[in-house]
Structure 1
């Protein structure tokens, strides 16, 4: 039987999952087709999975058909994958050491020459941010710097040491910011784009025990919202683009569901800057908020389409939600008010934790 040809109205979406060697049952890097008109997700048999170990986060190169993945393990690594004609995914060189343990997030600098990785760390190795040089074809080359984080927090079992969880470039490109769940801080750096070295310029202290996990910037760069994993809150920070500092100005619960142990996961801000969405692991929901000055106002919360929603991506008027424990990828339509519709039937993707639309 011939393989169905995708509709031109369908989008290719990559998924990352934990593999059997990293405690999951997923394939690593795989692909599904997403139809925004119906919100449906389906397998993409034309694209063979790439068995990347512990593919817990994916990022695209800004100008090349190359995707990067973490390989989350104590002996951490990062990988590059070449995409050709929406049909072929193939490794672009061998995995390269991430400069730390358990890399859990990465991003490509807007100039396309540097890969930035957040290493969560381990019991014996602190969290850190690493920089690799990228070749003109997107290959990962030498490690140019590792900035090791210091700090602890009051939550036993989670904050005995630093745990870098995300690294992002500020909207204007001037500073690099890294959230650290273990140190209750967001570290600010300048990246020397000639040498690939990081210079720490600020340590933005978070509320003790909050555990900042991920940041989402407002499109205009005036503020950023953090998903605080350990306190189950969202914090609005005023951002100073001249010095790269964050100042907390308000805080709101991540979920309205009570009597549940909850950990916020992914956070996304709308391109218009009016809405913010967050996944809730424990409540198993996606919550929507309206931006009102320096506050976030809850405007609705819907089931995530599975269990333990982690990664979140805004794609063609929908939020694609990776539900790790149920192994399902769901699409929630974003309504004009910023509220969310309940998900269409989810696609089965074992141990899925992140997604990336191409």
Structure 2
């Protein structure tokens, strides 16, 4: 990773935020630019924000200029958004039901034909994972499957039932993994490429009370790192690509801060496979870890550039940190040893929760 200033073209970035109808004050989708040399973030004045309701997570189509957004509300929908050549954002069809309540994460299968969505659920509704068919232009078509998670954990008020929090495809494209914060588990599925149906092949139990939120694959696909929201830890797991199963190997505290209730949010592994970074909501930091074999070693922790850092995205040698409660987006430069430079003054971004580099 670069320790000197990066050079190169300005990077286009989209941010997602909670809107007034989803408990926030943000615009939905907004277009920004990142200067990789200076780390400066600015709004793209040529692109008007798009009022997508509760845009809590964004994912790009692998071959089309289309972006998908969760609409995190009790009614639960997902949206497809087209980007024109000048970056203009426009709805690509109407939002469709996400198959559950409070959708909080989504991803496009590498083949570009299926959208997978994790629905967190609620106190009365379980977590679910939905599959939607995509047409040749990236439009959302009919749902092809909906799986309902079952399970619970020991943390009162958070684990009375299942809460799916992330869905991702393994590096080989063979299995779909879905984290469940409420059930203390990662569910492994196989997606039928013709029907869009999910077949459950494994349920991977996590440490009781850990509340796995998000996973990140290290390069090579043999190791998976988890941000554990309820235990405030980061855990390294062995991943068996033949069976889609996980085995916990080591775990460390997500922050060195004392006297705060902390909840890890986003997690990112470096392209070189040597480092892992995680946001800390409560400590309001981004922590850096070195991956030494299968052990995680803390190497530094810096302020996140705001409060309640949620989303974390790697872009042009910087980590973009979406600070939800302060309404700021910060760019932290990554140094050669995995540590992070303090950011420039962060960019005001009301109720921002995620960023996507394009």
Which category describes the TM-score, using the shorter chain as reference length? over 0.9
1:69 aligns with 69
Q: Is the 8 A contact 1:219 1:271 kept in 2?
A: yes
2:29 aligns with 29
Residues 213-224 of structure 1: pairs in structure 2 closer than 5 A: 213-224=213-224
Q: Is the 8 A contact 1:310 1:324 kept in 2?
A: yes
- Whole-Å Cα distance in 2 between the matches of residues 48 and 324 of structure 1? 21
Structure 2 residue runs of 5 or longer lacking an equivalent are: 1-6
Q: Is the 8 A contact 1:12 1:86 kept in 2?
A: no
Q: Is the 8 A contact 2:8 2:36 kept in 1?
A: no
Distance 1:304 1:276, change over 3 A: same
Secondary structure in 2 aligned to 1:214?
strand
Is residue 2:13 matched to residue 1:13? yes
Moved segments of 4+, more than 2 Å = none
Residues 187-266 of structure 1: pairs in structure 2 closer than 5 A: 187-266=187-266
> What's the offset of the Cα at 1:37?
0.4
* 1:226-262 Cα distance to aligned partner (Å, 9 max, x none): 0000000011110000000000011000001111110
2:154 aligns with 154
Secondary structure in 2 aligned to 1:21?
helix
* 1:316-349 Cα distance to aligned partner (Å, 9 max, x none): 0000000000000000000011100001111111
State the TM-score, normalizing by the size of structure 2. 0.97
2:110 aligns with 110
Is residue 2:102 matched to residue 1:97? no
- Whole-Å Cα distance in 2 between the matches of residues 156 and 337 of structure 1? 39
State the TM-score, normalizing by the size of structure 1. 0.97
> What's the offset of the Cα at 1:140?
0.4
- Whole-Å Cα distance in 1 between the matches of residues 9 and 131 of structure 2? 37
- Whole-Å Cα distance in 2 between the matches of residues 268 and 243 of structure 1? 24
Secondary structure in 1 aligned to 2:21?
helix
* 1:37-87 Cα distance to aligned partner (Å, 9 max, x none): 001011111101110000000000000000000000111000000001143
Structure 1 residue runs of 5 or longer lacking an equivalent are: 1-6
> What's the offset of the Cα at 1:8?
8.0
1:3 aligns with none
Q: Is the 8 A contact 1:184 1:208 kept in 2?
A: yes
CA-based RMSD = 1.0
Instruction: Say how many residue pairs are matched.
Output: 352
Secondary structure in 2 aligned to 1:124?
coil
2:267 aligns with 267
